[in-house]
Structure 1
Amino acid sequence: MKRINYKAISITLFPFLLLLIGCTEKVDKNTDEYIQTVESVLHNALTGPNDKLKEILESKDGKERTTALAKYEENVYKDYFANETAYIDFISRYGTVLMTESYKNKYTLKVENIEYERTHSKENIYNFSIQLQYRKEGKDLPEVKKITGQADLNDEHKIERMLIRINDLWGSFPKHKGK
């Protein structure tokens, strides 16, 4: 009967285990300069809608609303992005799209906490995990969802790419049936 050599197996599997669990490290939000950029964008994108945005969304004229939303997004987000392509990619996926959806369904969103982990790569890539509170208008108790994502920044602390995994959040909202 053959004996299993557990020592040989563990020596062989140990490097793979390190790859699985050692690819990121926790980050102190207060000492990492890259985090400030990501934190600002996430709070702006996932807290609200604020009064200014509500005012824009309630405007009657479609063209006026589109122009006002574009100006609002530029004022809130543009300075955080490395270039026009990164900025346009973000606002077309997230930007006011997130707040518009929650506004239409009469929800407010609020970021409660964000945890960051820096990946072990040559790039400035951060994984993040958000505790996002959402509350339906007229309800006393909010609910909380965990949202995850990733941000890739350049050496000037500007975002080159950002991914926010929000699909699970929208499934929490019942379908909008008009005002």
Structure 2
Amino acid sequence: MHEFMHWASSVYGKLYDAYVLYPKPPHDCQSSHVDTLVLRALPEVLERQCGYKLFIFGRDEFPGQAVANAIDENIKLCRRLIIILAPELLGFDLLKNMSEEQIAIYNALIQDGMKVILIEVEKIQSYASMPESIQYLRQKHGSVQWSGDFTAESPCAKARFWKKVRYHMPPKRFPPPSPASC
């Protein structure tokens, strides 16, 4: 599988348009707005309506891969890094202990050409308690604040929030499935 990914990357440039990094709440917490945004809204709008290809760890990796290798290889196959920030999950030591966060932030800070899209699920009053790397990325790239409805059945790509996110996404390589939706 590694050979295919290397071949696909060298032939087509990057395999994915964005790697989605998001805080995972502890298993005893109920599903959060972050899960709704990452696992339902982002794929619905960016993949289905707009034709982008996202890599979401936990959904897209191949079984049996070593976690650190899978993360590192897949981040290098992405054109953007989308980082989801949620104030209610900041107490879970966001971006301090997990290998996914460390590898993703390292690549965003070191790898040339990887732009970062910070999405705030709710307005973050102060970034002072955030890691310095996130503070730097916000200063360099800015952030987009979620303004959608978590209860909406099908989010629309034409909403202001999605237009802001799409502005930061890479140029499309392929037309979206239905041109009327984007």
* TM-score for the superposition, normalised by structure 2: 0.26
Q: Looking at CA atoms only, which structure, 1 or 2, has the larger radius of gyration?
A: 1
- Using CA pairs below 8 Å that are at least 6 residues apart, which structure has the higher relative contact order? 2
Higher strand fraction (1 or 2): 1
TM-score, with length taken from structure 1 = 0.26
